[in-house]
């Protein structure tokens, strides 16, 4: 289902929404590039350090594998479009010398604090339908307009599978979030994070 401009912009003016789209896209591009650096760093040291290894199902991390990121149907240039949908923004392709190739739809989410995460339920349901994963960065600090101000020491990242996205929907009570134009949302707190994803430190800035 396409989402009209009026629905998506909540209580913001068109100019405010246009600005928010521009900055959000720039932030997500920064975080995706940061993830690629993290993947390559962990991949390089895979056999040298046990602490860089991540569950293979989660990241398909093997020595000498490569990562490529592609746009998923849109150009992700930060320009405003009149109609949109909730398809995942990116496709992650992991491949290596063993001729194995793994493709995954990815959408990026960012939480500025470390004690809670808030998600729009409509988006989560669409990710489940698409079998898309969430690439999550949280406890980054407030980086909406300045991604490079990210706190590398406190930032954590994780990947939430479609199965665990559905579990989040099943386990948590929906409510209307004023900050998101009173759209239906769910909120999970830090003591619950481990039920849905594995949290990792950023190593690429060591």
DSSP class of 146: -
Measure Cα distances from 198 to 142, 160, 164 in Å.
22, 8, 11
* pLDDT in the model for residue 5: 47
Closest CA to 35 of 117, 138, 157: 157
* pLDDT in the model for residue 57: 44
Measure Cα distances from 4 to 10, 84, 183 in Å.
11, 7, 14
* pLDDT in the model for residue 60: 54
* pLDDT in the model for residue 56: 47
Measure Cα distances from 161 to 117, 177, 196, 197, 201 in Å.
16, 24, 8, 8, 19
3-state secondary structure 65-133: CEEEEEECCCCCCCCCCCEECCCCCEEEEEECCCCCEEEEEEEEEEECCCCEEEEEHHHHHHHHHHCCE
Annotated domain spans of the chain: 3-201
Token look-up 């789209």 returns: 21
What is the chain's pLDDT, residue by residue, as a tens digit (206 residues)? 445 445 555 665 666 667 778 888 999 999 999 999 998 888 777 666 656 555 544 555 555 678 889 998 665 554 444 555 578 889 998 876 666 778 899 999 999 999 999 999 999 999 999 999 999 999 999 999 999 999 999 999 999 999 999 999 999 999 999 988 899 999 999 999 999 999 999 988 75
d(CA 148, CA 10): 27
Tokens linked to 18 = 């246009």
* pLDDT in the model for residue 55: 52
Total-model pTM: 0.83
Q: Is 99 left (phi over 0), alpha (psi -120 to 50) or beta?
A: left
* pLDDT in the model for residue 78: 46
Asked if residue 3 lies in contact with residue 84, where contact means CB atoms within 8 angstroms, the answer is yes
* pLDDT in the model for residue 1: 42
Measure Cα distances from 79 to 17, 18, 203 in Å.
11, 7, 32
């Amino acid at each position: 289902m396409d989402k009209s401009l009026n629905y998506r912009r909540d209580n913001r003016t068109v100019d405010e929404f246009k600005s928010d789209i521009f900055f959000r896209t720039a932030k997500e591009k920064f975080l995706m590039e940061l993830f690629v650096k993290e993947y390559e760093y962990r991949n390089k040291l895979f056999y040298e350090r046990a602490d860089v290894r991540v569950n293979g199902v989660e990241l398909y991390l093997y020595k000498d594998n490569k990562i490529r990121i592609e746009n998923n149907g849109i150009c992700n240039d930060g320009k405003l479009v009149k109609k949109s949908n909730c398809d995942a923004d990116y496709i992650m392709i992991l491949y290596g010398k063993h001729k194995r190739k793994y493709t995954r739809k990815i959408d990026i989410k960012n939480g500025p604090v470390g004690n809670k995460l808030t998600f729009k339920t409509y988006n989560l349901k669409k990710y489940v339908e698409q079998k898309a994963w969430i690439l999550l960065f949280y406890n980054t600090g407030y980086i909406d307009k300045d991604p490079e101000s990210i706190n590398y020491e406190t930032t954590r990242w994780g990947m939430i599978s479609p199965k665990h996205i559905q579990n989040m929907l099943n386990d948590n009570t929906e409510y209307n979030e004023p900050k998101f134009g009173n759209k239906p949302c769910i909120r999970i707190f830090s003591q619950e994070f481990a039920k849905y994803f594995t949290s990792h430190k950023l190593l690429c800035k060591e």
